[in-house]
């Protein structure tokens, strides 16, 4: 059995930054499951499918062949053979990903892909339902949160560093809307697994959070 660390939490809590560092420290593969929902969102946007039309999303999502490959340790997501990694981080795609991730067929398809990856590799996997649904037997489960305003500030900083303009109020509103949708959806909502350790990263540095998870993983690893 491969080893696995599950990191769940809301948008902007710092999951991917931390998960990448933890994976590097342990020599595990980092799996960003949000990127898979984002690739599905790209497919649905390209095909002009409305996220509000659940039947249409169910009917169309089968046409998206999503695969993951790694080059130089970085995850690349392929949609029907094309590398779409560069298209995934926009707000439009993020919002569509959150909306289409409420669809049962979309989730079934992507959870299967995630479980296959984790069966053959030691992984640090981040998302919303990893500890609860995808890898319920993960040796180490972390539920990472941060205050919504702190998360909005981090996102603004990230955009500004990329030379893009950032409207703090709009970003904060989007984050709250996305949290609400991810937490209240019927299937696999964002929720702390009973055996997950809660980490509020609002006042912690990246180094502190990484060290804390490595410490927890050391205590619980088989």
The residue to which tokens 């990903």 are assigned: 97
User: Minimal distance in Å, beta carbon 34 to ligand DC?
Assistant: 2
Name the minimum Å distance from CB 67 to ligand DC. Answer: 17
Q: How far is the CB of 199 from ligand DC (least distance, A)?
A: 16
* The token pair that represents 186 in the structure block: 């019927």
Selected from 37, 124, 154, 217, the binder of ligand DC by CB under 6 A is: 37
Instruction: Give min distance, CB of 146 to ligand DC, in A.
Output: 14
Token duo for residue 212 = 């804390």
Answer for the pair 206, 18: CB distance below 8 angstroms, yes or no: yes
201 binds ligand DC (CB under 6 A): no
- Tokens of residue 201, six digits: 């990263």
SS (H, E, C) 158-178: HHHHCCCCCCHHHHHHHHHHH
**Which span sits near ligand DC by CB under 6 A: 49-57, 74-82, 94-102, 154-162?**
94-102
**Does residue number 87 form part of the binding site for ligand DC (CB under 6 A)?**
no
CB of 134 or CB of 213, closer to ligand DC:
134
Interacting positions 97-156 with ligand DC (CB under 6 A) = 97-98, 101, 127-130
Task: Verify binding: residue 178, ligand DC, rule CB under 6 A.
Answer: yes
To ligand DC, the closest distance from the beta carbon of 117 in angstroms equals 12
Q: Are 102 and 185 in contact (CB under 8 A)?
A: yes
How would DSSP label each residue in 99-116?
Answer: HHTT-HHHHHHHHHHHHH
Tokens of 86: 């560069």
In the 8-state DSSP scheme, what is residue 135? -
- Contact positions vs ligand DC (CB under 6 A): 11, 33-34, 37-38, 94, 97-98, 101, 127-130, 178, 182
């Amino acid at each position: 059995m491969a080893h696995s660390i599950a990191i769940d939490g809301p948008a902007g809590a710092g999951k991917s930054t931390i998960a990448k560092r933890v994976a590097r420290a342990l020599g595990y593969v980092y799996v960003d499951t949000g990127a898979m929902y984002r690739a599905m969102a790209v497919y649905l946007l390209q095909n002009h499918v409305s996220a509000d039309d659940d039947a249409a999303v169910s009917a169309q999502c089968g046409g998206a062949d999503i695969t993951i490959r790694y080059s130089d340790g970085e995850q690349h997501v392929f949609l029907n053979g094309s590398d779409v990694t560069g298209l995934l981080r926009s707000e439009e795609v993020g919002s569509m990903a959150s909306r289409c991730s409420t669809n049962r067929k979309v989730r079934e398809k992507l959870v299967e892909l995630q479980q296959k990856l984790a069966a053959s590799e030691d992984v640090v996997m981040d998302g919303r339902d990893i500890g609860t649904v995808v890898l319920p037997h993960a040796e180490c489960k972390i539920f990472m949160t941060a205050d919504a305003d702190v998360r909005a500030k981090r996102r603004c900083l990230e955009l500004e560093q990329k030379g893009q303009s950032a409207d703090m109020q709009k970003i904060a509103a989007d984050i709250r809307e996305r949290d609400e949708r991810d937490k209240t959806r019927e299937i696999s909502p964002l929720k702390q697994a009973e055996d997950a350790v809660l980490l509020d990263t609002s006042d912690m540095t990246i180094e502190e959070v990484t060290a804390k998870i490595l410490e927890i993983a050391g205590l619980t690893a088989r």
